Amino acid sequence: MKRFLMGLISLLFALILTSCWDIKSLQDVNYFTGIGIDYKNNKYQIYIQQLNFSSVAKTEGGKLSTPAEVWVGHAEGESISQAVIELYQTTQQTVFWGHLSSIILSEDVLKHGNLLAVFDALMRSPEIRYTPWIYGSKKDMRELLTTKPFFNLSPLNSILYSPETNYNQRPIITPMRTSQFIRDLREPGKMVFLPSLSISDGTWTANKKPDPKLEVDGVFAMHDDSFKSWVDYKDLTGLRWFKNRTLTSRIFLRKNNSNVATLKIAKPKSKIRINISNGEPVFNIEVSAAAILLELWTQTSEKELENLANKLIAEEIRSTFQNGMKRQIDLLRLEHVLYRKKFKLWKKLTSNGKVALHPIKLGEVTVKIKVVQSGMYKLKRKMTPH
Amino acid sequence: MQNQKINVVQAVFLFALAVGITNHVIIVPLILNSALRDSWISPLIALPPLLLWTTILFLIMKLTKQKSLYIWFKTHYNPLVASLVIAPIILFVFLILFVTIRDTTAWTKITYLPKTPFPVIVGLYVFAGFIAALTGLRTITIAAGILFPAVIMFGFFVMSVNYQFKDYSYLLPVFTNGYAPALKGTIYVLGGLVEFILLLSVQQHLSKKMRFSTLILMTLAVTCLIFGPVIASIAIFGPYEAADQRYPSYEQWRMVLIGKFISHLDFLSIYQWLSGSLVRISLALFLLFDLLHMTHHRKKWIWMFITCVALIVMVTRLNLSDAIFFEFLQRYYFPYTLSFFYFFPFLLLLLILMKRGKAHHEFT
């Protein structure tokens, strides 16, 4: 009898614990996948992207004959949540934010908006996670959110939503997740490089008509929660030697105006040492990595290749540093190294973070590249047909 | 009554789950809030005083021959002293019940059941704990033994999957604001760990003697359970963002991402947290009545039911905002439980040592 009663109670639990109050029917929900945030006329402008999920889920063997449909909603308000409430007037169904996977901040919101308030509004919501990719942009939000990838695929296959594979091929500007952006933004003395999303009109044509595609063309440099400068990716090439995730960075070696070789540099390791001279920090940089020979134009010894590569990479690092100093920004994030390693000195020189460390003295840049592989050919091949 | 004794391994599982797991969820936001980047130092500072305290605890268990604390003091002193000795533990158990129910249900309401009425969540949750407590310590212990391995496994899972987001360089520099923040964080680490005092109230239910090494290993393991999520939070979110989060451990679960297609695995944390806190409240409920000598009382279930209803009413009807509750934990609950229960075992040991000779005399 007792067992029967217990069984009955357990059954009762199973029946009433189905959380019917919070049930969501999947088809009756609007999924917001991307949000663009702009700041115009002292008001926050939000642009919401919604996708037609029938174009996201691929059917077996079926070709995608129609372009993926994308809806972009726009609303404005004194704050983010005001704008969201405004948008809810027309959303028709329950909105679910749990699949928000991309955030774009306009240049204006980075410059004039209150970023901490923006993230407060987003992250306070129990539905939004820290995982969305985050970008800054100078372009029109509506255009960014409606630019589609190839083959009628949905935007989920564009760099707005899946930037990693693209980055692995061309590792210059690392894609950033919201967690990392917020972490770096709130870190004292640290430069944050928010990837800048843009649209390239001229690269691709579809059936001879221009077909715009998304691209990452630079970064928005931020320091201490405030906007510093926009930097073109060409001025940032030295940055990649500090990311040990970098897999396939290529360098093209030239000597006396003639082509020598192309090397692939794998997993560079970097060390930044601080020397104090006259109470001021001097930063010495050491980079070491292994290289793989990709193409060879002129017969060159291993030693010579390594020397050329060392010189080129050191030059890249120096010029990136100089590009930053011209704009009064610290592109190699040296100030933060000082914060980490010599906190007391940092505190003294920056009045406890009130001013950025400036000027910054770059000491020696030492690069040690080791050629470890020469691919399917020997390093020394005959440079003539026979 | 059949044999209700539990063995030492079971007790370790029970306490690791009830005290360790659940404690860290409640404590981690408090540590991060007060110690920021130095939070990970706090558990390290807590180690020496914790080891000393655990040693005292072990001595008490040994000298009382793992008999019921109340009975030992009744035979060596008098019923009044015995009652005075267990009264603080009874109060503590009641506070644990309230804090655990309040924190778990508020989290449930905020995160995954926002539209379910609060009294329903609290009611069902307390009722589940009530049934488990009613069936006795053995049931609770066996349940803990079944739930514990998966909880630990999921913990390792979230730790390793989130490695992709972690940057351990954020752990430095430490002591940027002097040593005070790290020491303040230590209050919460120790404040949570003094819950091991409850071992004194289950000692008579253990089938064997607790070994000193087992006890030390258990407290060390539980300290690691605090250390892990604190480090992870700083490495993923940075110290300042982590300090602003209400549920840092849960935020880590929300980060879980494997490739492009697997995400939103935070429901596994519901399993972790609910199994931990369910075992915790059922253990606390059981101990509450065990300390009141009502384990074999015929009307026990009525009294337990009334207690549960009172708890439900307290949690749902008290107009306690989450901000006030958090402040209560931060300013009063942990500092006061720590300062009392850290020194309580020292006092007990003193009382025991004073009468040890006499008891020996009585026997001979």
Q: In chain B, which ranges are E strands?
A: 257-258, 262-263
Contacts of A125 by beta carbon, 8 Å cutoff, 6+ apart: A97
Identify the residue among B240, B246, B250 best suited for mutation to test binding to A, counting A beta carbons within 10 A and taking the highest: B240
The string of DSSP codes covering A336-383 is HHHHHH-HHHHHHHTTTTTS---S-EEEEEEEEEEEEE-TTS-SS--S
Residue numbers of the domain that contains B90: 8-359
Q: What is the pLDDT of residues A253-296, one digit of tens each?
A: 888 888 888 888 888 888 899 988 888 899 999 998 888 888 88
Identify the residue among A186, A274, A338, A346 best suited for mutation to test binding to B, counting B beta carbons within 10 A and taking the highest: A186
Model confidence at A59, pLDDT cuts 50, 70, 90, reads: low
Q: What is the CA radius of gyration of chain A?
A: 26
Cβ distance B6 to B206 under 8 Å? yes
User: Is the same domain home to A195 and A284?
Assistant: no
User: Is the same domain home to A131 and A241?
Assistant: no
Residue A338 lies in a domain: yes
Residues in chain B whose Cβ is within 8 Å of chain A: 110-117, 120, 124, 128, 131, 165, 167, 169-170, 172-173, 176, 236-238, 240-241, 251, 254-255, 257, 260, 263-264
User: Is the same domain home to A126 and A193?
Assistant: yes
Residue B3 lies in a domain: no
Which CATH number is A356's domain given? 3.30.300.210
Q: What is the pLDDT of residues B184-220, one digit of tens each?
A: 999 999 998 899 999 998 888 888 888 899 999 988 9
% of chain A surpassing 90 pLDDT:
24
Q: Domain count of chain B? A: 1
Q: Residue B351 is encoded by which pair of tokens? A: 């009382």
User: Is the same domain home to A56 and A116?
Assistant: yes
Model confidence at A245, pLDDT cuts 50, 70, 90, reads: low
Of the partner residues A131, A184, A187, the one whose CB lies closest to the CB of residue B257: A131
Question: B363 vs B153, which has greater pLDDT?
Answer: B153
pLDDT at B53: 94
Q: What is the pLDDT of residues B253-266, one digit of tens each?
A: 999 988 878 888 88
* Pairwise CA distance, residues A133 & A178, whole Å: 6
Torsion of CA A287, A290, A295, A299, to 10 degrees: 90
Residue A135 pLDDT greater than 90, yes or no? yes
User: Is the same domain home to A182 and A272?
Assistant: no
Of the partner residues A130, A162, A183, the one whose CB lies closest to the CB of residue B254: A130
Q: The pTM is what?
A: 0.88
Q: Domain count of chain A? A: 2
Compute φ and ψ for A12, nearest 5 degrees.
-60, -40
The string of DSSP codes covering A161-193 is T--HHHHHHS-SS---BHHHHHHHHTSTT-EEE
> Count of residues for chain B?
364
User: Is the same domain home to A105 and A162?
Assistant: yes
User: Is the same domain home to A136 and A255?
Assistant: no
Residue B2 lies in a domain: no
ipTM for the whole predicted complex goes beyond 0.95: no
Residue B311 lies in a domain: yes
Distance from CA of B297 to the nearest CA of A (A): 19
Residue B169 with chain A: CB contacts under 8 Å = 340
Distance from CA of B256 to the nearest CA of A (A): 9
What does each C-alpha distance from A285 to A282, A368, B292 come to in angstroms?
A: 10, 11, 68
Contacts of A172 by beta carbon, 8 Å cutoff, 6+ apart: A233, A236, A237, A239, A240
Residue numbers of the domain that contains A298: 237-386
Of the partner residues B173, B238, B254, the one whose CB lies closest to the CB of residue A343: B173
Residue A264 lies in a domain: yes
Which CATH number is B132's domain given? 1.20.1740.10
Torsion of CA B286, B290, B292, B297, to 10 degrees: 100
Residue A317 lies in a domain: yes
pLDDT at A244: 66
Residue B243 pLDDT greater than 70, yes or no? yes
Distance from CA of A195 to the nearest CA of B (A): 17
pLDDT at A60: 53
% of chain B surpassing 70 pLDDT:
96
